[in-house]
Amino acid sequence: MPKTKAGVLERMKREGWTAPEREWTRDRPSGVWRKRSARGGGMEFHFSILPPRASAKVVCRCSTDPAPVRTNGPKKAAADLWARWETLSDARRNKALAKLATIRQVHALEAAGIAKELAIDLVCEPQGIASSTYWGWERRIAGASRADWAPLLADQRVGRTATAGCHPQAWNMIKADYLRPEQPAFSACYRRMTEAVAEHGWSPIPSEKTLKRRLEREVPRGARVLARGGRDAASKILPAQTRDRSVFHAMEAINGDGHRFDVFVRWPDGEIERPTMVAFQDLYSGMIVGHRIERSENWPLVRAAFADMMESFGIPEHCYLDNGRAFASKMMTGRMKTRFRFKVKQDEPEGLLTRLGVQVHWTTPYHGQAKPIERAFRDLCEEIAKHPACAGAYTGNKPDAKPANYGSKAIPFESFEALVAKEIARHNTRTGRRTAIARGRSFADVFAQSMAAPDTVVTRAVPQQLRLFLMAAEGVTARKPSGEIHLGGNRYWAEPLVEVAGRKAIGALRHTRSRPMGYFAVEPKPSLRSGFALGAPG
């Protein structure tokens, strides 16, 4: 600071201490000078107008109170500032940073000995910034930490926040009309609302765009999607869970499903129908470990595919299935309390999976993401249904996607069965798989490596268990007076049945395509077992 009064007055004039826009008033609390109210008049100046060293000295001289106790107030204020900074657009942030750069340039010149007013002119004039604008920036950061200058310099304007008025009944009508499963266009809803407005005289009514913006602002997107698209559409806006199959080893857990091929097949009896395949896939490796083909999805087909897998690789501990009529049939899951299909009866036969101790997990119906095998079916559709051997027999994957040569050929069942077996083997042994476990290897390589690991324990099926899967158990009644059993239009009888005439029994029928004969083991109690021949139709 100058040592003389004249020097101080010269500095006041040069730096504009008494500029009108810097006067302190109740409406302008950031001002730095005011008229002295005591006798004699004059002016009073805020110490912040002094150079940094001089203002610091004034504070030290005038401060007689003990050091203030530190509180969380400044920290909270800074946190609020930076929280608002994160919500600003990039444009507003860039403008604030440009202001900060200008202030730093002025301070750098001032520290070099240049008068502040001159420094402001040197920095601001080339940029077209008025000195009053610059002083406004200085007032924003006065007394604040340098670390918080950027958010303090950000534009504080929030724009228009008032909501245009709308008659409550009109607003309720357009919301109810728009948030329907039929998913009407907003313009159509607005037109219907304006017709009701003309009839009832509702007022005020904003424009269509204003109402649409209000609806999007007040009704969350999730609620709009749920109301218009349903639960399935709403579930898609949430991130799906990622399955970690590395917790398993080979044959610890499998999943199965049925798939109907888009191919016409000529069956041995001359009928032409699309075939259905039931397949089981190892969850750890992704390898298909069992499959069977028939005309339709039924529980004997599921049983046969499961038996093939058991015979080749063993019995899994966990099985992920949907609760369709085939997979959740009593023959497969009888006495399983979590079946959620058919009524669980005390006298119903024990299902095959229940007897083996396989823990069944039911997947979400009509939700392909719940069964990884659906991804394999997509590949097999491409490799099998569109294979050159099926040219002319391919039906298309939907009614309006039929090929030009639709229905010109039907592939024999034996040829199709061989093609499926060949392509499934190719599917299992193809390298370059990009799953988290395969990492470029084939599904078969991953499966074989896991099966050979010393810590992999897989229960192997004994012959008795395999025979169990070739026999269908069903609750029957031994008819009086002979004890014969009627099933499927046939009569079955053996001498031990005389003792159980009129009583409930559980029979197991063995039936194969090549040998349509029946074999029953009837056991109303564990001690009674008997085989008997197929009788004449009843």
Q: What is the pLDDT of residues 489-530, one digit of tens each?
A: 778 887 878 888 888 776 665 544 444 344 455 554 433 344
Q: Quick check: do 168-235 and 245-452 share a fold?
A: no
Task: For tokens 């083909």, name the residue.
Answer: 293
User: Quick check: 40 pLDDT over 80?
Assistant: no
Spatial contact of 352 and 316, defined as CB atoms under 8 Å apart: no
What is the full DSSP assignment across 91-117? Answer: HHHHHHHHHHHHHHHHHHHHHTT--HH
User: Quick check: 14 pLDDT over 60?
Assistant: yes
| Eight-state DSSP code of residue 384 | I
Written as one letter, the residue type at 65 is: D
Give the strand pairing for 490-493 and 485-487: antiparallel
How would you list the strands of the sheet with 276-282, edge to edge?
A: 288-294, 276-282, 253-260, 318-321, 359-362
Strand partners, 487: 490
pLDDT band at 289 (very low <50, low <70, confident <90, very high): very high
Spatial contact of 346 and 505, defined as CB atoms under 8 Å apart: no
User: What are 17's two structure tokens?
Assistant: 């201490």
pLDDT band at 75 (very low <50, low <70, confident <90, very high): low
pLDDT digits 0-9 by tens, 219-263: 999 999 999 999 889 988 988 878 889 999 999 999 999 999 999
Q: What class does CATH assign to 168-235?
A: mainly alpha
pLDDT band at 17 (very low <50, low <70, confident <90, very high): confident
10: Cβ contacts below 8 Å, ≥ 6 apart: 2
Number of Cβ within a 10 Å radius of residue 440: 10
pLDDT digits 0-9 by tens, 110-151: 888 888 889 999 999 999 999 889 998 998 888 888 899 999
Question: Nearest 5°: CA angle at 524, between 520 and 525?
Answer: 115
Predicted local confidence at residue 184, as pLDDT = 96
Q: Helix H segments across 238-389?
A: 299-313, 330-333, 352-356, 373-380
Predicted local confidence at residue 533, as pLDDT = 41
Q: Helix H segments across 202-314?
A: 208-218, 221-235, 299-313
Choose the CATH number for 245-452 among 3.40.50.720, 3.30.420.10, 3.30.565.10, 3.40.50.1100. 3.30.420.10
Predicted local confidence at residue 336, as pLDDT = 61
Domain ranges of the chain: 5-46, 73-153, 168-235, 245-452, 470-537
Extract the runs of DSSP E, i.e. beta strands, from 130-270. Answer: 253-260, 265-266
pTM exceeding the 0.85 threshold for the entire prediction: no
pLDDT digits 0-9 by tens, 373-426: 999 999 999 999 999 999 999 999 888 889 999 989 999 999 999 999 999 999
Predicted local confidence at residue 501, as pLDDT = 85
Spatial contact of 228 and 222, defined as CB atoms under 8 Å apart: no
Choose the CATH number for 73-153 among 1.20.1730.10, 1.10.10.60, 3.40.50.720, 3.30.70.360. 1.10.10.60
User: Quick check: 532 pLDDT over 50?
Assistant: no
Phi-psi region of 475 (alpha: psi -120 to 50; beta: other; left: phi over 0): beta
Q: Give the H/E segment covering residue 426.
A: helix 413-429
Return the SS3 of 501. coil
Question: Nearest 5°: CA angle at 81, between 80 and 87?
Answer: 90
